[in-house]
């Protein structure tokens, strides 16, 4: 199948997304007490807990820079006098990151370096936006509003709009540079 074939792209994209997405779910099963729990994976390879810790500590650090007192544990952030958030698995952005990584890796970009640069910047941006969300939620969200405003769905809509715009410019830039190379 030709490298630039839309069918190849679609199959590769769906395959990579499924691998990334379900690997994360499988790994969560290995690191959560229950049927498939592995203490080795939980204690030595738990990237999910490391990501959760990083997001909580980063959010807490920003809030402390702004003068707020915070407390954290393994999955919660409390802003003293404001609110508390719990970082569940769904809040980590692993599904969004799986989608983004699968698209970037499967897109038939001509050069590996720009692809890896865009992938890295995109994944970091997704998590930076996630940290902004956690800071705002810790300051302003109250559980009483959870039936009216679903912050998770709202964040997904915003993040997929940002991803769509960035992917549009990334793809169209590649198309324009390929046309330029053909003319030369």
**Residues 106-136: tens digit of each pLDDT:** 998 768 898 999 999 999 999 999 999 999 9
pLDDT at 147 over 90: no
Give domain status of residue 43, yes or no: yes
pLDDT attached to residue 123: 97
Question: How does residue 181 score in pLDDT terms, banded at 50, 70 and 90?
Answer: low
Mean pLDDT of 133-145: 81
pLDDT digits (tens, 9 = 90+) for 11-67: 999 999 999 999 999 999 999 998 899 999 999 999 999 999 999 999 999 999 999
Give domain status of residue 10, yes or no: yes
- How far are the Cα atoms of 57, 75, 76, 103, 158 from residue 86, in angstroms, in the given order? 13, 6, 4, 30, 20
pLDDT at 146 over 80: no
pLDDT attached to residue 7: 93
Copy the structure tokens of residue 10. 């679609």
**Token pair 């544990």 in the structure block, residue:** 73
pLDDT attached to residue 180: 56
Give domain status of residue 47, yes or no: yes
Task: Report the C-alpha gap between 19 and 160 in whole angstroms.
Answer: 20
pLDDT attached to residue 45: 96
Question: How does residue 155 score in pLDDT terms, banded at 50, 70 and 90?
Answer: confident
Give domain status of residue 1, yes or no: no
Higher pLDDT, 179 or 129: 129
- Total domains in the chain come to 1
Count the neighbouring beta carbons within 10 Å of the beta carbon of residue 139.
Answer: 14
**Of the ranges 4-8, 75-79, 149-153, the best mean pLDDT one:** 75-79
- Dihedral of CA atoms 21, 95, 11, 180 in degrees, nearest 10, equals -140
- Provide the domain limits for residue 17: 6-183
pLDDT attached to residue 152: 81
The distance from CA 119 to its chain's CA centroid, rounded to whole angstroms, is 11
Helix, strand, or coil (residue 85): strand
pLDDT attached to residue 184: 53
Copy the structure tokens of residue 113. 């370096």
Give domain status of residue 96, yes or no: yes
pLDDT at 176 over 70: no
- Looking at the chain, the whole-number percentage of residues with pLDDT higher than 90 is 73
Task: Report the C-alpha gap between 143 and 146 in whole angstroms.
Answer: 5
Give domain status of residue 158, yes or no: yes
Copy the structure tokens of residue 84. 């508390």
Give domain status of residue 134, yes or no: yes
- Share the mean pLDDT of the chain: 90
Give domain status of residue 62, yes or no: yes
């Amino acid at each position: 199948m030709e490298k630039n074939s839309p069918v190849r792209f679609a199959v590769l994209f769906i395959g990579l997304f499924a691998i990334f997405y379900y690997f994360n779910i499988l790994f969560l099963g290995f690191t959560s007490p229950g049927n498939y729990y592995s203490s080795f994976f939980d204690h030595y390879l738990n990237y999910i807990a490391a990501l959760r810790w990083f997001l909580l500590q980063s959010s807490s650090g920003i809030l402390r820079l702004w003068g707020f007192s915070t407390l954290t544990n393994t999955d919660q952030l409390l802003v003293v006098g404001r609110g508390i958030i719990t970082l569940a698995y769904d809040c980590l952005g692993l599904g969004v990151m799986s989608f983004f990584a699968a698209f970037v890796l499967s897109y038939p970009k001509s050069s590996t370096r720009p692809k890896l640069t865009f992938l890295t910047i995109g994944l970091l941006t997704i998590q930076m936006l996630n940290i902004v969300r956690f800071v705002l939620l810790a300051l302003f969200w109250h559980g009483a509003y959870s039936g009216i405003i679903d912050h998770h769905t709202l964040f997904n809509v915003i993040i997929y709009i940002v991803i769509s715009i960035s992917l549009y410019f990334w793809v169209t830039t590649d198309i324009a540079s390929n046309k330029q190379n053909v003319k030369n």
